[in-house]
Structure 1
């Protein structure tokens, strides 16, 4: 079976001359829970954002289910972003609206621009959003405004919004970077458990090596825009970690 994601010689040079990615190639199989680790500025966020075209690659290809997304037009990008959910470090919620409405925004990619703008969500979409929030322990917070929630609760809303898309892949860009250790553990447990139960492929960027070792089925280490490690968690020795972080 073909890999769900295939990245071929991916390069990204920003306008200021920063070479964020320098020929990254890798494959991700369906159902994997992959942690991408590396120091700040290594290219982890750029890698994830090239996958769903939030960042345009300079060179190379990203194949999602065998289709080269780097050549995708408007409609294809819209379809790609439906099937690839994104969880952000800064939550990216609309603070003034309810938790439920934030989760329903995950359905916008399936709606016409008119019904989306008017917020006409189907009964089924609403029921499914209720169910997802219950699963994430947020049923009591459903009608609160997002800005009334703690950081950990907001990140769970971010996960719920991604799940409402019914994605094949979830990209999580430093989802626990701004959270305390207990809350971070909680978020990772939810993300890992739900992805495994639902068969969702996940790529998660992490700073914390121990968290990566605990949850990932595979770890990719990036240093200065290049892959310097790709293997199982138990292969990530202190020596290799030193290489990734240039210690």
Structure 2
């Protein structure tokens, strides 16, 4: 069953830069898809178009049979409830507690007044504690998020995304600023939880070997076009060199 269908997606920025060129691909429910490619290849634009942080120039994005590109603000708010987003820079509110940051994943389900005063239900608080346990951070719950290490902050971001009870998680370079050991920890948590909960996940990565270790499917992007779409075992050295525009060494 396909959860996401992208057809002829193009994005041209105001400065004339063509970030995406007529991209089409579908994602099945439960896939852990990883997009690889050089900086500026269009990886982030794909993810940001899916949740419409970026407005595509043309094309169609169907998420659970709902058209995203033409959705109204109200419709988009409902759609985004089911899309968790994890950023390279964590995007936490550093002055508030870890627990509150996780609870912010529930804001899309609350009215504006309750959200503004932080009137979270007992059910939401219990769920937030459970999520912190799953990412190994219950002992950090009352610390300010800004006091945590980068790896810990990214685990908070994962828990916050999961608090939305999403059908899809989009992770934009979630380990780019982390050391290899911490990166492995983050990817382990993300992969394991998505696998256990049946959540579809699309991740942007620079690290090819990490992609090959975790992905059920890899998409290679070059200059706004998908030039590889297959399994990790199908991603040969020559394919990698082609994606990253590197010459073969003879």
After TM superposition, the score normalised by the length of structure 2 is 0.98
Shift of residue 68 of structure 1? 1.0
Which deviations, in whole Å up to 9, do the C-alpha atoms of 1:16-36 show, x marking residues without a partner?
Answer: 111000011000000000000
Runs of at least 4 residues off by over 6 Å: none
Q: 2-side partners of 1:115 and 1:197: how far apart?
A: 31
Q: 1-side partners of 2:120 and 2:201: how far apart?
A: 27
Structure 1 unaligned regions, length at least 5? none
Partner of 1:115: 114
Q: 2-side partners of 1:67 and 1:82: how far apart?
A: 13
Partner of 2:36: 37
Shift of residue 58 of structure 1? 0.3
Give yes or no for the alignment of 1:52 onto 2:46.
no
Give yes or no for the alignment of 1:199 onto 2:198.
yes
Bigger drift between 224-233 and 66-75 goes to 66-75
Bigger drift between 218-227 and 71-80 goes to 71-80
Partner of 1:146: 145
Give yes or no for the alignment of 1:170 onto 2:189.
no
Structure 2 unaligned regions, length at least 5? none
Q: 2-side partners of 1:58 and 1:13: how far apart?
A: 6
1:63-74 equivalent positions in 2, closer than 5 A: 63-74=62-73
Shift of residue 67 of structure 1? 1.4
Q: 1-side partners of 2:228 and 2:174: how far apart?
A: 22
Secondary structure at 2:221's aligned position in 1? strand
Q: 2-side partners of 1:157 and 1:23: how far apart?
A: 35
Partner of 1:189: 188
Partner of 1:128: 127
Q: 2-side partners of 1:79 and 1:157: how far apart?
A: 23
Secondary structure at 2:165's aligned position in 1? coil
Q: 2-side partners of 1:25 and 1:160: how far apart?
A: 30
Shift of residue 86 of structure 1? 0.2
Aligned residues: 246
* CA RMSD, Structure 1 to Structure 2 (Å): 0.4
Partner of 1:239: 238
Shift of residue 192 of structure 1? 0.2
Q: 2-side partners of 1:102 and 1:17: how far apart?
A: 37
Partner of 1:224: 223
Partner of 1:14: 13
Bigger drift between 66-75 and 87-96 goes to 66-75
Q: 2-side partners of 1:179 and 1:77: how far apart?
A: 32
After TM superposition, the score normalised by the length of structure 1 is 0.99
Partner of 1:89: 88
Q: 1-side partners of 2:79 and 2:211: how far apart?
A: 26
Shift of residue 74 of structure 1? 1.1
Secondary structure at 2:24's aligned position in 1? strand
Secondary structure at 1:4's aligned position in 2? strand
Shift of residue 102 of structure 1? 0.3
Shift of residue 75 of structure 1? 1.2
Q: 2-side partners of 1:245 and 1:35: how far apart?
A: 15
